[in-house]
A and B are shown apart, each in its own frame.
Chain A
């Protein structure tokens, strides 16, 4: 279609705006994952995680990471009184005692206080209270505000910490990968077998059976959910992995359909020639048809991998012990324990679980796009 320049501009503006809106949530997820907890709650939100540095307490060496507290703009003292550190006006301490505001009975009170540091701050040269991050020296100290610097610096350690917080992360990962491996193998093998039977061999009743297979796609999962659960319970499989992979060895209708469409495009003559040479049907399947169908098999395998990696309901129903959880279920379990506060860890954990799929997409983009296009053309 030929479009005029103004319309082209509008077109690109719309697409770019749309793309930005679609990317923003992901950027927000990664940005939050790299922030310290206090920055996750700052308003307006910051996109770039930062760290604050100040000169070390002993004066020498490299600047150390600190958390910044209040700013002092008049001469003051940093004192320790009644077990806590605070900043008081320079004249509030006399003879080692801190004079406080009158109590409920009206008499002025004085508590013992030790002066830690005199702060020669003025409005023109403010000082800042800082607390060392991770140092042994608890409580604050004061440094010239000009010496405190803020630098963009992502907290990569959030990823490691969120993994530790999830408790069984290595188990979750191993469980998920094991299930992915089994279901991908089962799905590709069984769907290819069934699709071969439905497309490359002529037999009575084939087409009506295939229509029946297509019709099963209309059955909503909840309809079969309860009896299938009871079946697995009768087998004593609740709390094990079997319910999550055994079914994948029983060719699902959708994948069978996809592969059948592909097998139909392979010339008949190839099979006939092999048959003339005395090949068994299985050898034709294994040595002629399968090698030619690699792209379609990749699509089915890839989608099954994603399906298993992303599956939530299956593990929720069948897995009972925390050490058996998959990543998806483990993430939800983590959120139910730590949700609502530690957003940076939650986003870090979510990023970790989403990342392999995103990486896979960038490496296998063509397979993804072709596979999805294939599912659309089927109609």
Chain B
């Protein structure tokens, strides 16, 4: 190693040292510790006691655990695709030569900025069965007995899906930016080949922005499996009949309300495995359809 190389190595390590410290203290150590705790009976008060796979066996038998997993997957199964289609559609519409595009974009984006505590309050009020705006609108449209939303176990999850669709503005901005990067010539040559609007969307737009869609999909999977704050604020301990007890909420309850840190860690590791599996699955399904320019 030359003197220059050694100096560069020391300098490089010095500059990235904040990240190294953070990685060791807030990622690597917690990962190892959490894996260890997941095999322990641990209440955070006394020292952890090794119990082998007991937490994992309990998880299989815990009906509340399965319920929370089901609720979370149900939420993700609707919020993700609906959000994807809606945000993509909005972005495609905005990408036409629209006058006042930045005003529309600002309007669609604004709701995604509202702090989750405030937007949760707002949606509790909008979803109020008797005096809420949503049921007023539904009654005005001729629905005689609109649902009681947050008070009805059937409708709690759709309520939160609906609320999540209000926050798609972030994705709209990302898609719009990537749509504007699609070279114009591609559309022009497609038109010369006689492609209509649909064909251009299908064969030019979607392939060109597929990496961004893929990225949003992965981030969406990771995010929606961890949905916590709005569910916790709006439905407390899980809502009627635990119909909105999400995975992260149940995990939080185990860790900080029931003092079952070991069980919570076991749940967390299963979540990690699930995230990795779904990401792998998304990879398998989409790798053929994701187009990377320059490769």
Are A223 and B268 also in contact (CB < 8 A) when A40-B131, A202-B8, A358-B113 are? yes
Using Cβ atoms and an 8 Å threshold, which residues of chain B touch A29? 118, 122, 125
Using Cβ atoms and an 8 Å threshold, which residues of chain A touch B272? 219-220, 223
Using Cβ atoms and an 8 Å threshold, which residues of chain B touch A285? 15
A190 is an interface residue with CB less than 8 A from chain B = yes
Interface residue SS majority, chain B? helix
Q: How far is the CA of A339 from the CA of B109 in the complex (A)?
A: 28
A156 is an interface residue with CB less than 8 A from chain B = no
Contact indicator A220/B225 (Cβ below 8 Å): yes
Are A226 and B255 also in contact (CB < 8 A) when A25-B122, A231-B29 are? yes
Q: How far is the CA of A361 from the CA of B102 in the complex (A)?
A: 13
> Min CB distance, B74 to chain A, in Å?
19
Using Cβ atoms and an 8 Å threshold, which residues of chain A touch B187? 1
Using Cβ atoms and an 8 Å threshold, which residues of chain B touch A278? none
**Stretch from B62-70, B77-85, B174-182 contacting the other chain:** B174-182
> Min CB distance, B194 to chain A, in Å?
14
Q: How far is the CA of A213 from the CA of B28 in the complex (A)?
A: 11
Contact indicator B131/A45 (Cβ below 8 Å): yes
Are A256 and B19 also in contact (CB < 8 A) when A218-B276, A233-B44 are? yes
Are A24 and B133 also in contact (CB < 8 A) when A216-B27, A313-B229 are? yes
> Min CB distance, B208 to chain A, in Å?
12
B136 is an interface residue with CB less than 8 A from chain A = yes
Q: How far is the CA of A251 from the CA of B169 in the complex (A)?
A: 27
> Min CB distance, B278 to chain A, in Å?
11
Residues 122-137 of chain B, each 1 if its beta carbon lies under 8 Å from chain A, else 0: 1111100011010010
**Stretch from A66-74, A97-105, A139-147, A345-353 contacting the other chain:** A345-353
Q: How far is the CA of A190 from the CA of B13 in the complex (A)?
A: 13
Q: How far is the CA of A111 from the CA of B181 in the complex (A)?
A: 85
Contact indicator B173/A350 (Cβ below 8 Å): no
Q: Please name the residue on chain B nearest to A379 by beta carbon.
A: B215
> Min CB distance, A342 to chain B, in Å?
11
Residues 12-50 of chain A, each 1 if its beta carbon lies under 8 Å from chain B, else 0: 101100110011111011001000000011011100000
Using Cβ atoms and an 8 Å threshold, which residues of chain B touch A24? 133
> Can you offer 11 A-B residue contacts whose CB atoms are under 8 A?
A3-B96, A22-B108, A23-B107, A194-B17, A201-B8, A219-B27, A219-B31, A220-B225, A223-B268, A229-B255, A312-B117
6 further interface pairs, Cβ-Cβ under 8 Å (given A44-B136, A206-B12, A378-B215): A219-B31, A249-B18, A327-B117, A350-B122, A365-B102, A373-B178
Q: Which residues of B contact A (CB under 8 A)?
A: 5, 8-9, 11-19, 21-23, 25-27, 29-31, 33-34, 37, 44, 90, 93-94, 96-98, 102, 104-111, 113-126, 130-131, 133, 136, 140, 166, 169-170, 173-175, 177-178, 181, 187, 197, 200, 211-212, 214-216, 222, 225-226, 228-229, 232-233, 248, 251-252, 255-256, 261, 264-265, 267-269, 271-272, 275-276, 279
